[in-house]
Structure 1
C-alpha cells in the first residue's frame, strides 16, 4: 500500500488519533501539574509557618527591651529633666547591649535627639544625632511602639528598630530604641532548601536567603516612589533595583508561578534560585511585611511533562495498534474480496474454458467428419468403379433372364436371378460400410474391435489397393483384440494411414502395406508399415502439423495425420511416425486395451 493511499484511506482516523493524543497529553499534564503544585503548596505553606515562627522569635525576644528602659529612674531623669546623667546611662546601655546581643540601644529626648547610646565610646557614636525624622520616633511620639527596618545613617548597617515611648506624668518624655541585627537569621535561611525573602510595605526585599535579592523590589518603582524612598534614607545608599521575577501564572491571591532569573548584580551563589518557582506569600503580623517562600516548580512541571509524554506515548501506541488492527482487518477484507473475485474469475474462466472446449470439441468433430468426407471424396472414383461393374452385370443378367423366361428356360433364368441377388448383396455391403463410415460419430471412447476396423478399412480401400497392385499383409495376434476407441474413428485413422502408406509405396517396384496388431500389457499396438522411401528428417519433425503435406497441390490438405493424432489422443493413446529398420515408414498406434489387466506376450 502506497503512502498516499494509506493517508487517503486513514486520513481522518490519523487526525482523530493525533487530537486524542494531544488531548490526553494536555489532560494528564494539567492533572499531574495540578497535583504536583498542590503538594508543593502544602510543603510551601508549612515552610512559611516555620520561617514566620523563626522571624517572630528573632524579633520577639527583643520586643520587651525598649519598654523596660522606662522603668529606670536614671533614664527618666535623663530624658525628662535633662539631667547630666548621659555618661552613666550610656555605660549601662552598653552593658545591656552586650548582654542582649543587640546592635545598639539608645535614648532620644522628646525632640528626637540622642541623649544616651550604647556606642557612646565609638567614633561613629549616635550621641547627639537628630533622629526625629525616623518612623520609629514618629510612631513613639504618638504613644505607640515603633517597628522599622532600615539602614543606619551613621554606620550604614541594616537592622530592625524597636521603639517605645517613655512617659512622665502622662507626657512623652523621650523614646527608647533597640536596633536588632537579623544577620544570623539570614544566615540560617541561606542553608535551607528553598529561597525565602521578606518584603516591607514598600515592596523592597529587606531579608532574603539569596544575598543578591536583598534591597531589590518585587515590582518596578515609579519615579515618585523611588525619589521618596531615596529621600527618606531608609535604605541608605542601596540601589533599589527591580528583581527579574515575572509572573507566569497566578494560582490565587497568595500563590503564583514566577520565572526567576539571576540578577545581573548581587553576591553569593544563586544558581539554585534560577528557574520556575511557586511563590507563596503570607503577611507577617502588623508590620506590613510579607514573607515569601519560593518552592522550585521545575521538577514538578518536568515530572508532569514526563507523565504527559508517557500518557501520550501510551495512547499513541494504542492508536498505532488500532491502525495496525484496522489495516490487518482491511487486508483480510481485501484478501477475502480478492479471493472472491478470483473465485468468480476462476468460475468465469472455467465456464469459458468449458464453453471453448465444447466449441473446440464440436469443431474437432466437424473437422474429423470433414476429413471423412474428404476421404470419401478421394475414394469416390474407386467406389464408383466398384459399383459400376455390378450394375453392368445386373443389366446384362436381367436382360438375359427375360429372354430365358420367354423361351421357357426357367432353370437358366433362376440361376441368373440368384447371381443378381449375390451382386445386390455385395453392393449393399459396400454401400452399407460406406454409409457406416460416413456417419457423424460422437467421438466418445467405446469398445472397438481391431480386426473388424482393419477389415472395414481395407474394404473401403480395396479398389485403390488393386489399382496400385499393392500387397497387403495383416498380422493379428488375437481376433478378439479390442481397444478403448470409437470404432468409426478408429477406421478413419486406419484408412488415413493405409492410404498414406499406398502413396508412399507407389514408387516401389512391388508396393507393400503391412498391418500388425498385438497386445503389450494394457496397451494395444497397431503398426502400419510401407516399403517406400521412408520419412526424411525435416518431414518427421512436422508430420502432425496441420496443413503440412508432401503431396502435390490438390492431392491433399495436410490434415489427415493431424486429425488422426487428435482422435488417438482423445482416446487416451498415442500416434508416432518413424522409419522402419528394414526400410520404409512405420506409423504406430498405442491404445488402451478394452478391459485388459494382464500382458500377453506374442
Structure 2
C-alpha cells in the first residue's frame, strides 16, 4: 500500500523538480544579464571620470617645456654649450622651477642628444653629460617639435611621463627641453575607488594602475622584436615584464568583455577583489597610444543572481504546492456538496462561512492599511531618487564642461607662471612700474579663476529643498554663465529679454538653474552643425504667472518626439549620449514649484520650451 502511494506521487515530485530547475535557471540568467547591464553603465561613467583625471593631471604640465624657450640664458647656453659661465645659472633656474612645479626633473638637451643643464645638477647621479639621443621622446621632439613618452629612467630607475619640446631660435633648432612628471599621486587616488583601473601602452604593458602588483605586467605575450626594441630604447630599464594572467571569456556589446584574472601567490589587501571574473571596459586616451581599462568585479552580480535563482525555485515550489492544495480543497468541497448533509449541518456550515468572511474582512482591512503605508514609503523613495537624479544631472553637466573649464584655467595658470617669473627679473632690475603692472595682471587672472570655480561650486551644491523668493532673470544669467564655454566655442548668438523690475518666484534656485541648464543644453544640441546658430531666451509676467521661454533655431521636434516628449527614457540622441530623463526630471521639478513645463515647435522654425511658475513678492532687503 505504501509503495503504491509512493509510485503515485513520483510523477508529481519529478514535475516539481523540473519546475524548480527551470525557474531557477531563468531567474539566474535574467538577473545576471540585468546585473551586467547595470555594471556596464557604471563602468562607462567610471571611464569618463578616470579619463578626465588623467588628462587633467598631464595637462597641468603640457605647457611647461615650451616656456623654457622664453629664457634667454637657456638659449644662449645651447648656442654655446661650452660656456661654463651660463651653466650654473641655468642649472639653478631649472632646480628652482622643478621645486615650484612639483615635477621629478627638468633638463635641457642639445641638438646632439647630450644633457647640458638639469635640475638635479647637485646630485651625484645628475643627468648632465648623459647621451639621451636614443630616447624616443628626444627623437620625436626633434622630428615633430613635441615628444610624449612613458618609461623608467635609466639613471635613478624612477617611472614617469616625459614631455619634450624643441628649443629654437630664428634660424635653427638648438635643443630639446624635457619635463619628467610623476603620476604616482594619481595612482594613489585610483587605489581608493570602487573598481580597479589600469592604463596600457601600445605594446600591452600596464604602465599605470590602481593595483601595485599589476604595474609593468603585460596583457599579451611580447614577441622578440618588441623586447629587442625595449632593450634599445631602455623604455622599461630592462625590467622583467611578466604576464598579468588576464584571459578573455566572452565578448559583449559596446566593446565590453568578460575576463578572468588568475590568482597568483597570496591575495593582496585591497579595497576590491583583484582576482576572479571581471567586466572589462576599455577606451583609447586622446593624444596618446594608451588604452584605459576599468575592471568591474562580477562577484556581487553572481551573488544576486544566485539568491534570485534560489528565491525563484522556492517560489515555484510554493506555487506548485499551493496549486495542489487548492485542487485538493476543491475536491473536498465537491464531495461535501454531493453528500447533502442535514439542515443542522447546513446551518453550522453557514455560520462557519460567516466567521471566515468576517476574518477575511479584518485581514483585508489590515492589508489595505499596509498597502497605504507602502505607497507613502514609495512616494518618499521616489522623491529621494528624483533629488539624486537632479544632482547626477548637475555632475553630468559639469563633466561635459570639464574640458572647457580645464582650458579656461590652464591659460591663466600659464600666464601666472610667466608674469611671476618676469616680475622677479623686473624687480631685480629696479623696474617697479612694470613689476606693479605684472602684479595687477596676476590679480585679475586670480579673480577670473575664482569666478569660474565659484560658479561651478554653487551649481554643484546639493539642493536644500527649501523654497524661497528667486530672481528669475538672475537664474537665467547663472545658467548662461555655466554654459559660457560651449556658447563661445559654437559662436551662439544669444537674444535675451527680461522685464524691469525683475520678477520673483517662490522656488529652489539651485533646482531651477538645473532645469534651465538642461533646456539650454538641449537647444545647443539641436543647433549642432549650423553655421549661424541663434538662441532666444525671454522672461515675462502674465497676470500672477511668470513665463520663461527657451527657443532654438534648429530643425524642430518630430511628431514622435512631441508625442513622447516628457516620457522617461525617451530620447532622440544617439545611444550612450543621453538616458532620456532630463525633460522628465525637469517637468517634475517645475511641477513641485506649482508650475508647468511644455514643449512645441515655433511657427517660425525651431523648438520652443515654455516654463510657467507662480509669481511671488520681492524679498525685503535687510
Measured against aligned partners, the alpha-carbon deviations of 1:451-476 in whole angstroms (never above 9, x if no partner) come to xxxxxxxxxxxxxxxxxxxxxxxxxx
Q: Is the 8 A contact 1:212 1:270 kept in 2?
A: no
Aligned with 1:108: secondary structure? strand
Q: 2:199 is matched with which residue?
A: 198
Distance (whole Å) between structure 2 residues aligned to residue 167 and residue 213 of structure 1: 41
Q: Is the 8 A contact 1:213 1:266 kept in 2?
A: no
Which runs of no fewer than 5 residues in structure 1 stay unpaired? 340-602
Q: 2:425 is matched with which residue?
A: none
Displacement of 1:53? 1.5
CA-based RMSD of the aligned residues comes to: 2.9
Aligned with 2:250: secondary structure? strand
TM-score by length of 2: 0.50
Q: 1:296 is matched with which residue?
A: 297
Q: Does 1:280 align with 2:268?
A: no
Residues 153-232 of structure 1 aligned to structure 2 (within 5 Å): 153-232=154-233
Q: Taking structure 1 as reference, are residues 4 and 66 closer, same or farther at Cα in structure 2, changes over 3 Å only?
A: farther
Displacement of 1:189? 1.5
Q: 1:86 is matched with which residue?
A: 87
Q: Taking structure 1 as reference, are residues 245 and 330 closer, same or farther at Cα in structure 2, changes over 3 Å only?
A: farther
Measured against aligned partners, the alpha-carbon deviations of 1:309-367 in whole angstroms (never above 9, x if no partner) come to 1112211222344456667889999x99xx9xxxxxxxxxxxxxxxxxxxxxxxxxxxx
Q: 2:30 is matched with which residue?
A: 31
Distance (whole Å) between structure 2 residues aligned to residue 4 and residue 66 of structure 1: 92
Aligned with 1:87: secondary structure? helix
Distance (whole Å) between structure 1 residues aligned to residue 301 and residue 309 of structure 2: 12
Distance (whole Å) between structure 2 residues aligned to residue 230 and residue 253 of structure 1: 37
Q: Is the 8 A contact 2:192 2:271 kept in 1?
A: no
Q: Is the 8 A contact 1:262 1:271 kept in 2?
A: no
Q: Taking structure 1 as reference, are residues 256 and 320 closer, same or farther at Cα in structure 2, changes over 3 Å only?
A: same
Distance (whole Å) between structure 1 residues aligned to residue 321 and residue 198 of structure 2: 51
Q: Is the 8 A contact 2:116 2:129 kept in 1?
A: yes
Q: 1:464 is matched with which residue?
A: none
Residues 255-266 of structure 1 aligned to structure 2 (within 5 Å): 255-264=256-265
Distance (whole Å) between structure 2 residues aligned to residue 49 and residue 107 of structure 1: 35
Aligned with 1:312: secondary structure? helix
Q: Taking structure 1 as reference, are residues 305 and 267 closer, same or farther at Cα in structure 2, changes over 3 Å only?
A: closer
Q: 2:237 is matched with which residue?
A: 236
Displacement of 1:198? 1.1
Aligned with 2:173: secondary structure? strand
Q: 2:56 is matched with which residue?
A: 57
Which runs of no fewer than 5 residues in structure 2 stay unpaired? 340-622
Distance (whole Å) between structure 1 residues aligned to residue 165 and residue 183 of structure 2: 20
Aligned with 1:127: secondary structure? coil
Q: Taking structure 1 as reference, are residues 208 and 184 closer, same or farther at Cα in structure 2, changes over 3 Å only?
A: same
Q: 1:137 is matched with which residue?
A: 138
Q: Is the 8 A contact 2:196 2:272 kept in 1?
A: no
Residues 557-596 of structure 1 aligned to structure 2 (within 5 Å): none
Q: Is the 8 A contact 1:47 1:293 kept in 2?
A: yes
Displacement of 1:165? 1.4
Distance (whole Å) between structure 2 residues aligned to residue 143 and residue 90 of structure 1: 26
Q: Is the 8 A contact 1:243 1:263 kept in 2?
A: no
User: Which has the larger Rg?
Assistant: 1
Displacement of 1:15? 4.9
Residues 193-592 of structure 1 aligned to structure 2 (within 5 Å): 193-252=194-253, 254-264=255-265, 269=270, 272-322=273-323
The worse-fitting range, judged by mean Cα deviation, of 256-265 and 29-38 is 256-265
Displacement of 1:248? 2.8
Q: Is the 8 A contact 1:212 1:265 kept in 2?
A: no
Q: 1:106 is matched with which residue?
A: 107
Q: 1:21 is matched with which residue?
A: 20
Distance (whole Å) between structure 2 residues aligned to residue 146 and residue 37 of structure 1: 40
Q: Is the 8 A contact 1:278 1:296 kept in 2?
A: yes
Q: 1:442 is matched with which residue?
A: none
Q: Is the 8 A contact 1:145 1:162 kept in 2?
A: yes
Distance (whole Å) between structure 1 residues aligned to residue 3 and residue 331 of structure 2: 15
Q: Is the 8 A contact 1:211 1:267 kept in 2?
A: no
Q: Is the 8 A contact 2:281 2:294 kept in 1?
A: yes
Displacement of 1:193? 2.3
Distance (whole Å) between structure 1 residues aligned to residue 214 and residue 231 of structure 2: 18
Number of equivalent positions: 335
Distance (whole Å) between structure 1 residues aligned to residue 242 and residue 136 of structure 2: 23
Q: Is the 8 A contact 1:80 1:168 kept in 2?
A: no
Q: 1:95 is matched with which residue?
A: 96
Measured against aligned partners, the alpha-carbon deviations of 1:234-256 in whole angstroms (never above 9, x if no partner) come to 11242211112222322235322
Q: Is the 8 A contact 1:212 1:268 kept in 2?
A: no
Q: 1:461 is matched with which residue?
A: none
TM-score by length of 1: 0.51
Q: 2:149 is matched with which residue?
A: 148
Distance (whole Å) between structure 2 residues aligned to residue 290 and residue 246 of structure 1: 17
Displacement of 1:122? 0.7
Q: 1:368 is matched with which residue?
A: none
Distance (whole Å) between structure 2 residues aligned to residue 318 and residue 120 of structure 1: 81
Q: 2:375 is matched with which residue?
A: none
Distance (whole Å) between structure 2 residues aligned to residue 154 and residue 266 of structure 1: 33
Q: Taking structure 1 as reference, are residues 129 and 28 closer, same or farther at Cα in structure 2, changes over 3 Å only?
A: same
Q: Taking structure 1 as reference, are residues 34 and 266 closer, same or farther at Cα in structure 2, changes over 3 Å only?
A: closer
Distance (whole Å) between structure 2 residues aligned to residue 283 and residue 220 of structure 1: 20
